[in-house]
A = this chain, B = another copy of it.
Amino acid sequence: MARTRVHSQFVSLDGFSAGEFVTFDEPIGEAGRLFSHFDGQGIDGVHTIDGPITLDRTLFALWGQGIGAEIMGRRKFGPQTGPWPDDGWRGWWGGEPPFRTPCFVLTHHPRDPLEFENGTTFHFVDAGIDEVLAMAYEAAGGLDVRIGGGPSTIRQFLAADLVDFMNIAIVPITLGRGQPLWQGLPDVQDRFSIETIGSASGLTHQLWNRVR
């Protein structure tokens, strides 16, 4: 049975998963240190890694495995707010977005899809999360659906009990401010079985599997 999955979700010791403000220069706000353990290697599989196949990279390599569609918040696609300006923005990723699947961008301002040659298509949808999840499963053709973030999007899906699996990476830093991952989710852990794995890198990985 296909699953709704969250991958490589970095969170600080004080529970922040992104910066407070997103700008063109800082896609994840001022919280760049959250990603200091991540070099992007292996998201297409461990055989694409140039260097050691480590625990961290093995877990990050799960990101694309068997994923047929992604759902993301508008902020993950770009820093704009309100009606879309005519600025030619096609996302942070240049001509080769790493997704290679349909991606559903949650926005109150629908617009035409953006298609890339590598299989990535951004669909801009103004819909409830149940509805967009149904669209994503339809587009995924039997594969799993990834909730790609940011934190507030993940919080919404967690609150609605729509997440089947999460790979959290707890980063040994404090941020003091930013976008909280756990806000408004008291006892969310009770719905999951959680495996915790220490890594030599200093990260703590957690695999959250929803108890069905």
Contact = CB atoms under 8 A, between A and B. Distances in A.
Interface of A: 1-3, 45-48, 50, 52-55, 58-59, 61-62, 65-67, 143-144, 165, 193, 195, 197-200, 207, 209
A199 B196 CA distance: 9
6 contacts: A45-B66, A46-B65, A47-B65, A53-B165, A53-B207, A54-B209
A85 B45 CA distance: 41
A207 B209 CA distance: 24
A52 B200 contact: no
Counting chain B CB atoms within 10 Å of each CB, the highest count among A62, A193, A199 belongs to A62
Contact of A55 (B3, B54, B207): B207
Nearest to A197: B55
B66 A47 contact: yes
Contacts of A144: 47
A66 B47 CA distance: 5
